[in-house]
């Protein structure tokens, strides 16, 4: 894979930055790797497993190199879907394949519902769609509690509460949703509030993504082949359960991926899953199209 080239794209309310890694050989569809709020820097290891394809990564609006006019305003899956639509159009490469992680998987589902002609295959890995869970009221309340912790007490409190919620296994009832967040110091998080409320996840995306209601009828009718992925080590967690919930509604079976929610990471953000095994499973999922 040659060195990536970096591009910017003006879109309504934001300026997006994306990177293109041209294929060394091969003519498979462009592979777009996306997360949210994870940006392009989270996909370096995974991109290195697909040197036979042109790989595109990007920073969602308000993340890393991509800016937006109001950094404290919510970014919705609809916003991100419109952004992705414009990025894909700018590539002039025809229908692409998409691997989407976490909130990126929610945004990719919104994209496919609106523009299925742009995506040949979508592999949506662990979308944390609390809105589709059988315990949705408790799960959504827990997400709102995370947001409240952040807005009232700052990043450390919000992130500690977030970790407690997303790592919880099983149903989320009203009692769990009502629990206060843990001490940020338990996770090495700052205990002081710096006053900033523009964090991409806690300030801009957590409520809009977890509360999103995907257009299931449009997804069922889409020409796009949609594959839901779930980590073998994250069973019972909200994001894993979200993948199962979407698959059930689309009448499919989730594909089991090695490791956990960040199984494709190879040292990015100080985390390492099983990137070799993850990439092999992703390649197999894409090749079945």
Domain residues for the domain of 186 are: 136-206
pLDDT band, residue 282 (cuts 50/70/90): very high
- Say if residue 61 is in the same domain as residue 198: no
Angle at 205 between CA 87 and CA 46, to 5 degrees: 55
- Say if residue 109 is in the same domain as residue 87: yes
What is the domain count for the chain?
2
Last residue of a domain, one of 154, 179, 206: 206
- Say if residue 100 is in the same domain as residue 168: no
> Among candidates 119, 53, 58, which has minimal Cα distance to 83?
58
- Say if residue 185 is in the same domain as residue 50: no
- Say if residue 39 is in the same domain as residue 172: no
Total number of residues shown for the chain: 289
Last residue of a domain, one of 155, 175, 206: 206
- Say if residue 18 is in the same domain as residue 151: no
pLDDT of 106 > 70? The answer is yes
- Say if residue 199 is in the same domain as residue 217: no
pTM: 0.97
- Say if residue 78 is in the same domain as residue 18: yes
Q: What is the pLDDT of residues 195-209, one digit of tens each?
A: 999 999 999 999 999
- Say if residue 100 is in the same domain as residue 236: yes
pLDDT averaged over every residue in the chain:
96
**φ/ψ (deg, to 5) at 209:** -80, -50
What number is the average pLDDT over the span 19-25?
Answer: 90
- Say if residue 145 is in the same domain as residue 121: no
Q: What is the pLDDT of residues 211-244, one digit of tens each?
A: 999 999 999 999 999 999 999 999 999 999 999 9
Last residue of a domain, one of 184, 206, 228: 206
- Say if residue 198 is in the same domain as residue 217: no
Q: What is the pLDDT of residues 137-162, one digit of tens each?
A: 999 999 999 999 999 999 999 999 99
- Say if residue 55 is in the same domain as residue 90: yes
């Amino acid at each position: 894979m040659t060195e990536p080239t970096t591009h910017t794209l003006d879109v309504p309310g934001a300026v997006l930055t994306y990177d293109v890694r041209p294929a060394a050989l091969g003519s498979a569809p462009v592979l777009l790797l996306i997360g949210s709020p994870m940006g392009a820097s989270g996909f370096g290891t995974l991109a290195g497993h697909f040197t036979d394809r042109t790989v595109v990564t990007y920073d969602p609006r308000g993340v890393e190199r991509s800016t937006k006019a109001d950094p404290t305003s919510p970014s919705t899956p609809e916003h991100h879907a419109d952004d992705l639509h414009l990025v894909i159009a700018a590539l002039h490469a025809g229908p692409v394949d998409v691997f989407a992680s976490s909130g990126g998987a929610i945004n990719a589902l919104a994209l496919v519902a609106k523009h299925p002609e742009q995506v040949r295959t979508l592999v949506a890995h662990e979308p944390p769609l609390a809105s589709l869970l059988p315990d949705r009221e408790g799960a959504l309340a827990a997400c709102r509690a995370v947001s409240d912790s952040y807005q009232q007490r700052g990043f450390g409190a919000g992130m500690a509460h977030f970790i407690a919620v997303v790592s919880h296994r099983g149903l989320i009832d009203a009692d769990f949703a009502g629990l206060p967040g843990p001490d940020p110091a338990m996770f090495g998080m700052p205990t002081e509030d710096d006053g900033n409320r523009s964090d991409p996840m806690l300030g801009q995306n957590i409520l809009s993504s977890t509360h999103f209601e995907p257009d299931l009828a449009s997804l069922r009718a889409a020409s796009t082949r949609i594959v839901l992925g779930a980590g073998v080590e994250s069973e019972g967690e909200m994001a894993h359960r979200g993948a199962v919930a979407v698959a059930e509604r689309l009448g499919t079976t989730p594909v089991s991926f090695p490791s956990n929610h960040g199984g494709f990471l190879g040292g990015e953000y100080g985390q390492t899953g099983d990137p070799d095994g993850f990439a092999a499973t992703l390649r197999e999922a894409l090749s079945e199209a």
